[in-house]
Amino acid sequence: MSRRRRKVLPKEPVRCVVESLSHDGRGIARQEGKIQFVDGALPGETVMAKVVGSRSKFDELRTVEVLESAPEREVPPCDYADLCGGCSLQHMAADAQIRFKEDTLREHFAHFGGIEPEEWVAPMRSESTLGYRRKARMGVRYVQARESVLVGFREKRNSFLTDIDRCVVMDPRIGERITPLRELLHSLDAFNRIPQVEIACGDDAAVMVFRNMDALSDRDRAALIAFGQAHDLHIYLQPKGPDTVHRIWPEQGEERLSYRLEEFDLTMKFHPMDFTQVNAGINSTMVHRAVEWLDIQPQERVLDLFCGLGNFTLPLARRAAQVVGVEGDEAMVVRGRENAELNGLGNVAFYGADLQADFTAQPWAGEGFDKILIDPPRSGAQEVCEYLTAFGARRIVYVSCNPATLARDAGVMVRNGYRLVRAGVMDMFPHTTHVESIAMFERVDK
Please identify which of the residues 16, 84, 167, 401 carries the catalytic annotation.
Answer: 401
In eight-state DSSP terms, residue 363 is: G
Please state, in angstroms and rounded to a whole number, the distance separating the CA atoms of residues 264 and 314. 8
* 22 neighbors 58 (Cβ within 8 angstroms): no
Residues sharing a CB contact under 8 Å with residue 41, sequence separation 6 or more, in sequence order = 16, 18, 26, 27, 29, 47, 49, 63, 66
Residues 323, 311: Cα–Cα separation, whole Å:
13
- 339 neighbors 310 (Cβ within 8 angstroms): yes
Active site residue 78: no
- 95 — phi, psi (to 5°)? -65, -40
The type of residue at 252 is Q
Rounded Cα gap, residues 228 and 150, in angstroms: 20
* C-alpha span between 122 and 108 (Å, rounded): 18
Q: In what order do the strands lie in the sheet with 14-17?
A: 14-17, 46-54, 58-68, 34-39, 27-31, 20-21
Cβ-proximal residues to 91 (8 Å cutoff; 6+ apart), any chain: 40, 42, 73, 74, 75, 76, 81
3-state class of 168 per DSSP? Answer: coil
Angstrom distance (rounded) from CA 164 to CA 162: 6
- Point out the residues that are catalytic: 401
